[in-house]
Amino acid sequence: MYSFVDAMSLTMFIPLFQIASGEGSASSTGTSDVFMQVFNYLNLKPTVNSVLLIMLFFFLLKAAFRYFDVYYRVLATSYFNKKIRSNLLSNISNLKYSKFVTLNFGTIQNSVTAEILSINNAFSQYVSVVQNIIFVLVYIGLSFLTNPKFTIIVIIGGWLSRFLFKSLYRSSQSLSYSITNENNKLSSLVLQQVTNFKYLKSTALMKNYLNKINATVDDIEKDVIVLGKTSAKVMSFREPIIVVFLLIAIYIQVNIIGGTFSSIIVILLFFYRAFGSLMSVQQSWTAFLKYVGSIVHYEKFTAELKSEKETQDGMAFEGFETNIQLKNISFQYNDKSKVIDGVSLDIPKNKTLAFVGKSGSGKTTLVNILCGLLSPTSGEVLVDSKKLKDYSIDTFRSKIGFISQETVVFNDTLFNNVTFWSPKNEANLKRFNDVIQQVDLTDFVEKAELKEDIALGDNGVVMSGGQRQRLSIARELYKNIELLILDEATSALDSQTEKFIQESVDSLKGKITIVVIAHRLSTIKNADSIVLINAGKLESQGNYNELLQISPTFAKMVSLQEL
């Protein structure tokens, strides 16, 4: 509406002024007939004063629509940004774990940050294209009412001009795709630099890796420069080419059709305005094409994520009463050999079970299947004799506590890390203090100036390794879990801290079900049952003393660790 009113307010008054001043040239045009009908409908005489009054009305109307236009753009852009970003994050969050581990993390990071901004810019440019097309249509429509033949000649010339820019537009699209892919690569490289900073720094390999990053930056810069050169060509030659076609149209009108120049002077004013808008259309379209790569990347990436979405259909899991069973479980990645081969296992409620075996034997894969992160290639996971896949998997996972060697600490307060951003009310604070005392972090809290509101920094930089591991245990205890999984949780700790963590875990024995993946066999002596995994198969099972007697492999492992 803003575009339409703006066009009307600046164009309709030329023939009106001609009528008001008594010029006869306008009286023979279709435009003047339309405006005379408007005047008769409004019961106004076509005078200068009435024209000025209508002009004022249109400009006030234009100002009102302009306000709503700008304000609505802000609302639309804000909503658009939120919608596509939340949509992308939701698709990532709902992704199957087996698919997630195959993704390039740089692509994820770049998609959620830089690519979203590029898509937003594309959206803004596209809206500008639509708005300016409305300008062009209004001006050309008024011109057509005045002189159809001349208008058609100019339209044909404008249509032909697009072929001159077609190859440049195609080149812009291709470069846009290339820049998007290179940005994904750059994000991945930077992410790896941050993750492996200590190694690169300590081994003097940082400069070599930096050269690799700079090579990618150079590739991006080259594409950006070529894209800028292409855009410059379009912007530089667009106006001269349009003027050439306009001059040809004037020549045909005057010398071939036989019209007079004065008969098209009003139309030239229309087309002057129309060409200004047309140039804005082409300029916005050129800018839009620079971001096409981001749009295509977003669509393809979103489609890829949706195709591997994890479903949450099924019953709500309230807890289990007797046991969790793995029945003849096998698992393999694609066409590769089996990682897990025919494992059957019973995990009784409130018992402690330990998995041991060489690296790569399949222990972690087995735990991932137990958590529902991976679906077995064959076999079933049963909970109280009901299939796990019949439950809504997230309701099952909500009852699981998971502690790994790589502790999870968020850049937030201690309270929020333990309670996972639960409201800080009296009940939650009491529960927080109880678990903090249980994992022996009370001294850490008391010494902190802000107590439980102490900021832990990136990866818990203000805490020691042992304190971070205690924090991990506290978080799981706070959740009211039924199954606690420890994936080599103490292997990176010193003996004294390891002993304390082990004592904390032992204190839970008999209260919840515990599954431990152990590297240090000393940590599993008190387990109710130890499962020896070898090459994806269950080789032996029993308590510590039983396995020493029946399994030479386990006895050798114990001997090597001098236990």
Pick the more confident residue, 337 or 298.
Answer: 298
User: Treating both helix axes as pointing N-terminal to C-terminal, what angle do 292-307 and 48-93 enclose, rounded to 10 degrees?
Assistant: 40
Phi, psi of 434 (to 5 degrees): -65, -45
The stretch 440-454 carries a mean pLDDT of: 89
**Taking the domain 402-527, which CATH number applies?**
3.40.50.300
The predicted structure's pLDDT at residue 505: 73
Per-residue model confidence as pLDDT tens digits over 1-34? 776 777 666 656 555 555 555 554 444 455 556 6
Q: Which token pair is 444?
A: 């850490």
Burial class (CB in 10 A: 0-12, 13-18, 19+), 286: buried
> What does the radius of gyration of the chain's CA atoms come to, in whole angstroms?
36
Averaged pLDDT of the chain: 80
How deeply is 515 buried, as exposed, middle or buried, from its count of CB atoms within 10 A (0-12, 13-18, 19+)?
buried
For 162-207, the pLDDT digits (tens) are: 666 667 667 776 777 777 778 777 877 777 777 776 666 666 677 7
Q: Of residues 105 and 297, which shows the higher confidence score?
A: 297
Task: Please list the residue range(s) of the chain that carry CATH number 1.20.1560.10.
Answer: 2-307
Angle, helices 30-41 vs 114-146, to 10°: value is: 90
> What average pLDDT score do residues 491-510 get?
70
Task: Give span(s): CATH 3.40.50.300, the chain.
Answer: 312-398+528-535, 402-527
User: Using an 8 Å Cβ cutoff, are 485 and 355 in contact?
Assistant: no
Decide if domain 2-307 falls under CATH 1.20.1560.10: yes
- 62 three-class SS: helix
CA–CA separation, 475 and 479 (whole Å): 7
- Chain segment 524-539, per-residue pLDDT in tens: 888 889 999 988 889 8
Give the distance, in angstroms, between the CA of residue 456 and the centroid of all CA atoms in the same chain.
27
pLDDT for the residue 264: 63
Top-tier CATH class for 312-398+528-535? alpha beta
Spatial distance between the Cα atoms of 51 and 38, rounded to a whole number of angstroms: 11
Answer for the pair 305, 159: CB distance below 8 angstroms, yes or no: no
CB 329 within 8 A of CB 340: yes
| pLDDT value of residue 260 | 57
Rounded Cα–Cα distance for residues 457 and 321 (Å): 40
Q: Look-up: residue for tokens 């106004």? A: 44
For residue 27, the model assigns a pLDDT of: 44
